[in-house]
Copies of this chain bind each other. A is one copy, B any other.
C-alpha cells in the first residue's frame, strides 16, 4: 500500500484524544468512586465471550446485534460483549458457594452493539454495571432494590444533577403479569407482551394497536396498556391522588397504585431513604430484555430529550439459568454516551483546570472508611441504614465516605466488629441510641466517648 494512505476509525467507534480522554476518565472515576463508597467491589470479565452465552437467554434473534467471529482455524464462535449481565451471572454461578450474601459487584468498560449508530447510540461504548446479588435473610428484596436506587441518586448528585434534570422511572413486570392473567393471556406470551410494550415510546400509537391486534391480544388488554393512557405517578401518591390527577376511575387508580407499589413496600422504602423526589412510576417502562422479573427502571432526562441514561431491574431467575443456585438479583447498566450528552447540555461537564482538578481528587478507598454497627435495640437497628446512606452521600461538613453495614442477621457486636475488621474498615461506628454513637479506630483499638450521630461523618473524614 502506498505511503500516505489515510485510515479512519470504524463507524460507530471513537478516538479519544487527550481532552476527550479526561472527560471519559471523569465519568469513569465518578462511576467507580460512587460504587466503592456504596460497598460494591469491582470485577471484570473478558471483552469477548462464547457466542452461546448470549443466545442461551435471548434466543438467536440477538445474533444480528452482535459482533461475532471465530478464531482463524478455530471452531468455536465468539462475540464481543453487548452487555455485562451474562458474564456476571456466569462468574457468580462459578463461585456462588464461596461468595458473600449478598454479593455486591460493579464493573465499567467497553461494550459493543452491531446496530446502526445514531444519536446516543454507538457501536462501541462504555458501560457501568452495578449488581446486587442475593437476598438478605429476614428481609424482603425491597431493601436491595432501594439500596441500588440510592447509589444511582448519589451518582447524579455527585455529577451536579438534580431531580428537575433526571427522572428514575419505575415500572413493574408483576403488574403486567397480573393484567395478562386478568385478561386471559397465558404466561408463555410474556416475552411477546414485554417486547411490544417496551417498544411503545419509540413507535406510533397506531402501530402499537395494529401489532397488538395482529398478535391476537384481547381488546381490553390492548386498551389498558395504550400509550395514550400512559400513567406517570410521583412516588408516594395515594390511589385517591392518582384518580384525581389522572382523571381515571378509582378502580384503575388502585390498579396503578398496586403496580407502583408491588404491595406498597417499594414506595415506602424509597420515601424512607429520602429519594422519592427522584423517582416516579411510569406505566410505559417495561424493559425489552427477556430476563427481568418484577421491578424494572430506566433513568431519563426530565425533558425526555434523549434515550435512556440507564436501565435495569430485578432478574431473579438468571443466576440459576447459568448454572448457579436460585439467587435473586437486581442491577442496572449506564452507558457513557447519553450521559455525556445530558451533562454537556446542562453545562455540568467540567473543562480545563477544573476537570483536571476533579481527576486529581483522592479516589474512594476500597477500605471502608466506617462500618456502622447497631446495638441490639430496635431504635439503633433502625438508625443503621439512614446513617450509612448519609455518610455515603456526604455534605457540607464531610466528604462522601465509603460506609458499610452488615447484612448478617447477628446482633452480636463482637461478630460485627470482626466483620468490620475483615473488610479492613478504618473505623467502626456503634450506634448506641438514635442520636449517639461510639467510634472505634480499628487499627489502634482506640475508642471515643459517645458522640452525636450527626458528627460521625466529620470525625471519620478527619481522623485524629
Contacts and interface: CB of A to CB of B under 8 A. Distances in A.
Contact of A356 (B5, B49, B90, B366): B366
Interface in A353-384: 353, 356-357, 359-363, 365-367
Contacts of A361: 362
Contacts of A164: none
Interface residues of A, number: 74
Contacts of A43: 15-18, 21
Contact of A95 (B17, B66, B67, B91): B17
A252 interface: no
B424 A353 contact: yes
Contacts of A48: 10, 13, 67, 80, 112, 124
A362 B362 contact: yes
A43 to B, nearest CB: 6
Interface string A229-262: 0000000000000000000000000000000000
A25 interface: yes
Interface string A99-111: 0000001000010
A1 B56 contact: yes
B365 A124 contact: no
Contact of A360 (B78, B321, B365): B365
A218 to B, nearest CB: 32
Interface stretch (A69-77, A175-183, A275-283, A286-294): A69-77
Contacts of A76: 10
A66 B72 CA distance: 8
Given A69-B69, A361-B362, A105 B18 contact: yes
A3 to B, nearest CB: 6
A114 interface: yes
A141 interface: no
Interface string A50-94: 101100100000011011110111101010100000110011011
Give the dominant DSSP class at A's interface: mixed
Given A43-B17, A114-B71, A424-B352, A7 B357 contact: no
A445 to B, nearest CB: 15
B41 A18 contact: yes
A421 to B, nearest CB: 10
A46 interface: yes
Interface of A: 1, 3-10, 13-18, 21-22, 24-25, 41-50, 52-53, 56, 63-64, 66-69, 71-74, 76, 78, 80, 86-87, 90-91, 93-95, 105, 110, 112, 114, 124, 320-323, 352-353, 356-357, 359-363, 365-367, 424
9 contacts: A8-B90, A9-B90, A10-B76, A16-B44, A18-B105, A63-B72, A69-B69, A110-B110, A360-B366
